[in-house]
Chains A and B, each alone.
Chain A
Amino acid sequence: MGNLKEKLEEEKKKKKKSEKAKKTNAELFQKKVMLKKEEKQNENIKTTGKKKRRREKENNVNADKVEGEKNKNKPRKKKRKGEEKNNALVGKSVQQDGYEEQNGKSKKPNRKKKEHHTLKKGETIPEKIEEAVEDGAYYISSGEDCSKGMRKWLTEYRQSRPGLKVLQQWIDQFITAHEEKLEQERNEREARVAEDGWTVVVHHKGRKKTTDSQSGITVGSVAPAVAESQLTKKKHKEIGPDFYRVQKREAQRNEILAIQSKFEQDRKRIQQLRAAGKFQPY
């Protein structure tokens, strides 16, 4: 276990490191995390950046800019909440979006936040049909952070392969912990039973036990094949299905009933097919 913790801590450190390293990159989300003000500026930078990249209409860009500026006036508290929940993302609350939604850049954080809302609070939020955003396409940079996309998958891939020795340790730890847990559970159970005034008689000698103490189901060393053959043996002793005349008659009647129901079914089916125009050989 300790090993695992260490590992996690290591990971965290790594992340921090990489975050720091990437700060120099003009990466929007990282900066958002770092500093609110910077974020605002960034958004503006981004809009202008976009303008260069995309063949979008002038007025849209303007609208964007305006939106971007409006964002500045947002109360910050809510944003911080989102930050706490996800250190890589900044959410904006849905309630306040109204106009803000129109800002294309902040779509992703919005979504995140919204999920928190629906999942955690489970409350219904007044539904608003937002007008389609009229700005150009949203640009995702190739991204040097490891929380999303290709880099995340690569990191996950590498982290899940620490080498045989480490894996062995993890598993050993898990099994020890698991066994302890089971042991504890059993002790508790026994204690509970003992409280009821019953003494649990434990007898460990002799034949290996083949029955689960709780459910009484046969487990372990009885091979399925043996069990099956025993079952079939039992069956043989039963009276055959056509021993009594009553049984025969019943079977016959059942058969006729089955045929009749099949007939009815077929007729229904054909009617359906015909209605759908599919019962035609051409």
Chain B
Amino acid sequence: MDVDTLMEPMDLKVSELLKEVQVDYSPALTELVDDTVSAIKEAINQIPEGIEVTVDEAPGFVKDIGADKVEFKFKKPKSVEIGGSYSMKCIAKPDINVDLFIQLPKECFHEKDYLNYRYHAKRFLYLCILKKFLKSSSLVHKVEWSSFHNEARKPVLLVYPARKVVEFPGLFVRVIPTAKFLFNVAKLDMKRNNIRALNQEGNTPLPTPRYNSSMLEDMFLEDNTEFLKKTFLGWRELREALILLKVWAQQRSSIYAHDCLNEFLIAVILSYLATHEKVNNSMKPLQIFRVTMDFIASSKSWSQGLYFWQQREVKVSKEERLLYKETFPVVICDSYAHLNLAFRMKSNGFLELQDEAALALKCLEKSGDVAFEDIFMTKIDFSSKFDYCIRLNLKGNSKVCASGFCLDDECWRFYEQKVHNILSQGLSDRAKFIRVIWRNFHSDCDIENGLSTLDTEPLLIGISVSSLEKAFRVVDIGPNADNKEEALKFRKFWGEKAELRRFRDGKIAESTVWESKQWAKHLILKRIIEYVLLQHLSLSKTNVLQVVDQLDFSLLHGVEDPMSFSASLLAAFELLSKRLRCIEDIPLKVSSVQPLDPAFRFTSVFPPRPHPLASEKGHVPKLRKLISCCIQPLEVMIQLEGSGNWPMDEVAIEKTKSAFLLKIGESLQNSWGMTCIATEDDVDVFLSGFAFRLKILHERGLSLVKREIGSDIVKRVPSVDKKLFVRGQHSSMINGLQGIYQMYGPVVRLAKRWVASHLFSDCLVEEAVELLVAHLFVKPLPFTAPCSRIVGFLRFLRLLADYDWTFSPFVVDINNDFTPIDKKEIYDNFTLSRKGHEENAQNISPSMFLATSYDKASEAWTRFAPNSLELKRLVAYARSSANLLTRLVLEDQTGPLKWECLFRTPLSNYDAVILLHADRLPYPQRLLFPSNSNQGRLVVHGNASKAFQPFMLPGDLRGNSEEIKHKLMVNFDPLRSYVADLQKEFNTFKLWYDSLGGDAIGLTWETKKRGRDEACEGEDPIKVLKGVGEVGKGFVRSVYFLKAPRLMK
């Protein structure tokens, strides 16, 4: 019962999905298809029988594939028949197309035309004639060239009908020539050479298995389709399973490629399972899907090759099997035992396929119906799957086709293989998968004139990192120096990068060294890749485009990542906690010290660098570099020994804490000479260049909250202690996580920077971002945990954009230890929070439900923000950023779309824009782009105040060191003060700002429904804006007015 009930929701979704993607063979569709097919037949009939077909139809093509003797007299095709998935009723949207097999007549071919590409040339010329006549047909909208599984020597024609039917946009008919009975099968054996040009030099002619398979495929296309049809037509569940598999594959562009899987092969594998009784009639589509995944991922049959059970006497002998295995990495022999249907499959493609299937199985193992989204609804394209994406621009590169376009295989496929070999040797165990895919064919290819235009698309390389320890390894140890042969090979491969080294264990070996700073280790892989590619391929640096560090600019201070100071920060913290624990002259001893600030867990966008004035040494620094006037304090949480003498109410508790902290500060000052700067609420101490802000957690404060819950559920205001407690929990949880995943920190930093730079600082708190990113690592399915910052960032954006925030709670289970009871509690909390939704769709709170082990009711981070409108905006921005990022990874970025656009927010989406004086920001160096508004009307402008400078002036450094230290401003942030003042004074608008150092504030009018205060509605927006400018006197540069508030009557 258990399994059944768990499966049910998924079954529902699956059946709904099938309804969505299946095409019902309505009269409208069949009519359209039949009309188009008869139009094609009509066009064929118009071709005069026996016209001479010569090279002149496509001289370029014939020359490039290297065919001789291609003339023939045109004869009508022997048959024209609909085949493919349309005939099997297995079409999956959105690819609605119909395969039309045109059987080439034997009369047009000679017996020996299997030699030297004659068949391919004639096949193409035949299609050329067909195309000519199709073009003139009135029922045909357009005719285009395409390729058969990216095989340029085997083009096919795409015929678009003139009549458009709304339900089937972009429907076309694929005209595929077949070669049934044209040649003697024995002549196309794997061992035979059929391209004479290839065996001039060598003594024994090289076999041409791929060339032979290419022809055999055409010869048996109809038979194989017929065979599949027989299996599928009477079996609805199998057809549905096939559609599911297609949907699964369509979402994964890296396996749905010419050297891996295609629709036909999926059907073949399914029919193999059916004939071998691995699936049976009683199974549901999803069960068949699961069996197929399991078969692909882990079946032992792959190592021997798949052979259909033979009905007739044709048997594949052992030697033949062995030969197949030697020739092709993957063998799926057709039911007539003539050819390997998977002859295009490469081993790296197949490994990838197996991995994807294994991941799908993992998804299915998860309880509930989460798996559905992961398997069928999530797009797993190149950019989101691979940690490193590289594009090689090979346009016009003569090396690609140096020895001809078409040999046994095509030159592009050889090149793919070559690139793959170089990279796998260069990266060795650093990479788990290396995918090299070069899609050559695009719709406007003019292949009649030759194949040289097929290199316009960039070659795509995707690399999955095996583990970050390996990827960030600095030294690669090669063969021992004694091993002359291997050492020579190593030297040959690495060129001048190879060096002989003596290692600690006394070993002397060839090696390569990639020295790097700690924060730049993600660039090691980039350097290796660039080095080996340039070394072995005649490429210029500009043609190798690696997506690795394009976004680093947003995290750097100058040329350096501030992350490099983290070690000294942690050391300072250690020292501080030691000193705190040693303090004797306070009534209660410090029992524990815990870091709270994100800088301690490597997730701060800008962890502080040691400030020369904040160290306890008394010397005054020379004013050589710019010295900042402001210093970020880092919060640290202290717990004291237990005592019964604490006061009982919250106000008094807070005051007592302050008194304790002052004492602590004083003690530190007296015994260690540390500077202590305090206000009534905050106590900051300086140590080793960092400012630490001390907070006390008092356990009894926690019970105070609970009491409040009892009295009034609606108005739960967590106490200061509760907030501290939650932050402490969060901090230690995230700290543990980032210890496991090295890439976590950088991804969080990019994500935080993105959130801030689009002025969402007020909407999504840092901790929430950390949790969202944490989810990508702890629940990576259907991916694996990201191993590069860009792929992690992209997945973060997609998560934000695609997650169903309204109807699903977002559960982050970092330690993977939620019990069913916990989960139920979370779901109950969630349903409770969504109850109000039915009545008022606009006002759900929290609109983003984030549950974690320490916060099962989503009260900690997203209780007040984002509200549903903010979330809407956030989602829209995330979606457009994700799309842009995907494009930047996969396509050439000529044009205005550049990487920095990801962090440059449009200022036109606000009702008014406030621009600040960038040189009055506390950390002007963090500003990414100085903002300018050319939209709207300038209504206010003002000068910068002279009272504040972000950097020390020479005059500030005179006097004794203690005085100077007090000039350092802890946590002074005019932006925060400004926003606070505005929020205090106005309630007619909402502010959007960047707390990390942006110089623009967006302003949108709030359209609140007010009964009595209608007066405010009528207020002149310009007047309001002037008030806004006035509040930020000395800080506001200008205010632009874009849109007036909508008046609500």
Contact = CB atoms under 8 A, between A and B. Distances in A.
A161 B1034 contact: no
B644 A124 contact: no
A23 B376 CA distance: 72
A266 B1030 CA distance: 53
A107 to B, nearest CB: 3
B717 interface: no
B652 A153 contact: no
Contact of A127 (B644, B940, B1017): B1017
B894 to A, nearest CB: 28
B945 A129 contact: no
B914 to A, nearest CB: 12
Interface string A98-138: 00010010011011101101100010110111101100111
A140 B942 contact: yes
A53 to B, nearest CB: 9
A244 interface: no
Interface in B1018-1049: 1018-1020, 1022-1027, 1029-1036, 1038, 1044, 1047
Given A107-B1026, A178-B652, A125 B1015 contact: yes
A262 B924 CA distance: 53
Contacts of A219: 648, 700, 703
Contacts of A217: 707
B1014 A175 contact: no
Interface string B693-710: 000000110110001000
Contacts of B739: none
A154 B948 contact: yes
A221 B644 CA distance: 6
Contacts of B12: 263, 266-267, 270
Contacts of A115: 985
Interface in B647-681: 648, 651-652, 655-656, 658-659, 662, 665-666, 669, 676-680
Given A101-B1023, A124-B1012, A269-B807, A140 B1029 contact: yes
A115 to B, nearest CB: 8
A229 interface: no
A150 B945 contact: yes
Nearest to B1047: A129
A149 interface: yes
Contacts of A151: 945, 947, 1033-1034
The contact size tier of chain A is: 35 or more
Interface in A160-214: 160-161, 164, 167-168, 170-172, 174-175, 178, 208, 212
A240 interface: no
Nearest to B377: A281
A49 interface: no
Contacts of B648: 212, 219
A281 B17 contact: yes
Given A127-B1017, A219-B703, A137 B941 contact: yes
B476 interface: no
Contacts of A224: 699, 702-703
Interface in A55-97: 94
A5 B518 CA distance: 55
Contact of B946 (A130, A142, A167): A142
A164 B1027 contact: no
A142 B662 contact: no
Interface string B504-544: 00000000000000000000000000000000000000000
A282 B253 CA distance: 12
B5 interface: yes
A25 B9 CA distance: 75
B920 interface: yes
Interface in B1-57: 5, 8-9, 12-13, 16-17, 20-21
B942 A112 contact: no
A243 interface: no
B1015 A171 contact: no
A219 B1038 CA distance: 56
A178 B247 CA distance: 69
Contact of B1023 (A111, A172, A178, A270): A111
A160 B655 contact: no
A141 interface: yes
Contacts of B679: 160-161, 167
Contacts, number: 208
A143 B1015 contact: no
Nearest to A168: B662
Contacts of B1015: 94, 114, 117-118, 124-125, 127
B974 interface: yes
Contacts of B1031: 148-149
A251 interface: no
B656 to A, nearest CB: 7
B250 interface: yes
Nearest to A53: B941
A132 to B, nearest CB: 6
B972 interface: yes
A139 B376 CA distance: 58
Given A142-B945, A148-B1031, A174 B655 contact: yes
Contacts of A124: 1012-1015
Contact of B677 (A130, A161, A172, A175): A161
B1012 A281 contact: no
B233 interface: no
Given A153-B977, A279-B16, A133 B944 contact: no
A149 B982 CA distance: 10
A259 B369 CA distance: 12
A107 B1022 contact: yes
B9 A167 contact: no
B94 interface: yes
A262 B9 contact: yes
A142 B943 contact: yes
A109 to B, nearest CB: 9
A282 B93 contact: yes
A262 B5 CA distance: 11
Contacts of A112: 1027
A142 to B, nearest CB: 4
Nearest to A272: B807
Contact of B1034 (A101, A114, A143, A280): A143
A127 B1014 contact: yes
B1014 A171 contact: no
A257 to B, nearest CB: 12
Contacts of B662: 164, 167-168, 171
B251 A149 contact: no
Contacts of A270: 12-13, 16
A43 to B, nearest CB: 14
B720 interface: no
A156 interface: yes
A280 B19 CA distance: 10
A175 B944 contact: no
B1016 interface: yes
Contacts of B946: 142
Given A128-B1018, A178-B651, 20 more contacts: A101-B1020, A104-B1022, A107-B1022, A122-B1012, A124-B1013, A127-B1017, A129-B1018, A138-B1026, A139-B941, A149-B1032, A171-B655, A171-B680, A172-B659, A175-B655, A212-B648, A219-B648, A219-B703, A259-B8, A263-B9, A270-B12
Q: Which 8 A-B pairs have the closest CB atoms?
A: A149-B1033, A150-B1034, A107-B1026, A140-B942, A127-B1018, A150-B945, A143-B1033, A142-B943
Interface of B: 5, 8-9, 12-13, 16-17, 20-21, 93-94, 247, 250-251, 369, 376-377, 644, 648, 651-652, 655-656, 658-659, 662, 665-666, 669, 676-680, 699-700, 702-703, 707, 807, 920, 938-948, 969, 972, 974, 977-978, 981, 985, 1012-1020, 1022-1027, 1029-1036, 1038, 1044, 1047
15 contacts: A107-B1025, A108-B1026, A111-B1023, A133-B1022, A137-B941, A138-B1026, A140-B941, A140-B1029, A150-B947, A151-B945, A154-B948, A164-B662, A164-B669, A224-B699, A266-B13
